[in-house]
Amino acid sequence: MARKRRGQPIHGWLVIDKPLGVTSTQALARARRILDAEKAGHGGTLDPLATGVLPIALGEATKTVAWAMDGAKTYRFRVKWGEETTTEDAEGMVCATSPVRPDEAAIRAAIPAFVGEIEQVPPRYSAIKLDGERAYDLARGGEVFELASRRVRIDALRLVGIPDAEHAEFEVDCGKGTYVRSLARDIGRALGGCAHVVALRRLSVGKFTLESAIPLDDLAAMEQGAAVERHLLPIETALDDIPALALTEQEAQRLRLGQTVALLRRQDRERLDELNQVLTDAGSVALAISGGKPVALVRVEGAEIRPMRVLNI
C-alpha cells in the first residue's frame, strides 16, 4: 500500500507575528496545520513572553533556515529598573534589588558602551549546552554553574521612551547569538542598579519584517489558498545578502543531480569574475539560479561550483 503524503508541497516563507504566551514551536505547528503544509521549520526562536517576527520556512525553504537565523535582528524591549530576576525577564523570581532609577541623561551616557563587539554572559535560563545539558534544565534543577561570556555584535542601541521612572524602552539592532535579556541586565548593572526585561518584541529578522507579518489568528481566519497567495514569500527572501550566479539549464541540471559545474570556458570567465568581485572569500556561498528560479546553494571554489543544498522546486 502506498504511503499517504502528509500535507501540501508548499515552498517559501511565511512571516508570523507570534503572539504572547506561546512557544515558537507551538506557533510553527499551528501555522503548518492551518496551511496543511507538508514540511515546515522556523528561522529563529522567540521566548514565550516575546512577540513579533517569526519566519516560517515551508517545503524547500527549510534548506535556507540557517541563513535566515544568521541575519541581523531588531528588537524593541522594555526594562524595569530596580530588580533582577532569575530568568532576567518577568517570568522569574526576583533575586536582587536596587533603589537606583536612572534618568534619561544617565541612560544615554551608558548606551555607547553597549554598541559594537561586546562580551556578554548568556542567561542561565537559555538553550545553551553545558556538558551536554541545556542551561535552562540545569537552572530549573537548582544546579550551580557558570556560563562563559561570548562575543556578540550590537549594531545600534536606541533609547525610544521613558514611560515612567520605573521603566525605559529601547530598540536594538544586533547580530546572531545576542540575548536581549542579558543586555537589559547589563545595562542595569552599568547604571549602578538592577534591571530585567518586562516586554520584548522582535521587529525584524534579516529581510523579514513586521510589515510582511500576519498574526496567527488572522491566518487561521483565511482560506488556505488565499493565505498562501497573499503572504507566501519566495525561498530566496532569506538569501538576499548572498550573491547570485546565473546558470544555463544544462548547468542547473547538473547541480540538481548533485554534480559539480566547472566554469572553464572563455565565455564563462566574465560570469565567474563578476561573482568573485562580490564574494567575501574563497569557498564562499552563492545562490545558483536558472530561468529566474533558485536551483541550489552552492560553494564557489576557483572555477568549480559545488552544490550544497539543492532546491527541488
**What three-state secondary structure class fits 201?**
strand
What residues are paired with 81 via a beta bridge? 195
Reported as a single tens digit per residue, the pLDDT across 118-170 is: 999 888 766 777 777 777 777 677 777 677 889 999 999 999 999 999 999 99
Lowest mean pLDDT of 93-97, 149-153, 282-286, name the range. Answer: 282-286
Q: Which domains does the chain have, with CATH numbers?
A: 12-71+207-238 (3.30.2350.10), 73-205 (3.30.2350.10), 242-310 (2.30.130.10)
Q: pLDDT-based confidence at 278, cuts 50/70/90? A: low
- Once rounded to an integer, what is the mean pLDDT over residues 220-224? 80
Entry pTM: 0.88
Residue 233 has pLDDT above 80, yes or no: yes
Q: pLDDT-based confidence at 1, cuts 50/70/90? A: very low
Query: For the CA atoms of the chain, what is the radius of gyration?
Result: 23
Strand 244-246 relative to strand 285-290, pairing: parallel
Other residues' Cβ atoms within 10 Å of the Cβ of residue 132 = 5
Query: Is-catalytic flag, 70?
Result: no
Burial of 89 (0-12, 13-18, 19+ CB in 10 A): buried
Catalytic residue among 17, 47, 89, 186: 47
